[in-house]
Amino acid sequence: MKLAAFAAASLLSLAAAAAEPSGSAQPERGLAAGEAKSKGGQAAAAAQATAVIPVKGMHCGGCVGHVTEAVKKLEGVRSVDTDLDKAQATVVYDAAKVKPEQIVAAIASTGYEPGTPVLKK
């Protein structure tokens, strides 16, 4: 399972790097301190992201609870909706505090098999 989690996280990291526009790696570096503070509300909204992650191996409500609790422990996770019927976890998180590969690793640590996250805007 650990190898599967590592492989999934590696693939996700590569996909995210390939999808990122070349000029957007560090968008706030050029902002002065005053500008960053005045745009705080916009930055907070922009930092929120949603990932839908397939999860194989869940069979009951206990399985759902294990996945949900593991993901909730990550700093920056705002909400987790783990759906047994759809075999997926929908996670709303602060992209400045937690990365999708960390969420995938948390799911894998429970013994279930996470798939590749689909990032939603």
Q: What is the pLDDT along the chain (121 residues), one digit of tens a residue?
A: 444 444 444 444 444 444 444 444 444 333 444 444 444 555 555 589 999 999 999 999 999 999 999 999 999 999 999 999 999 999 999 999 999 999 999 999 999 999 999 999 7
pLDDT of residue 121: 73
pTM to 2 decimal places: 0.65
CA separation for the pair 15, 25 (Å, rounded):
14
Distance set, CA 86 to CA 52, 55, 90, 120 (Å): 11, 9, 10, 17
Instruction: Measure CA 72 to chain center.
Output: 11
Residues whose CB is less than 8 angstroms from the CB of residue 9 and which lie 6 or more positions away in sequence, other chains included: 101, 104, 105
85: its two tokens: 């019927």
pLDDT of residue 73: 98
* List of domains in the chain: 2-15+45-120 (3.30.70.100)
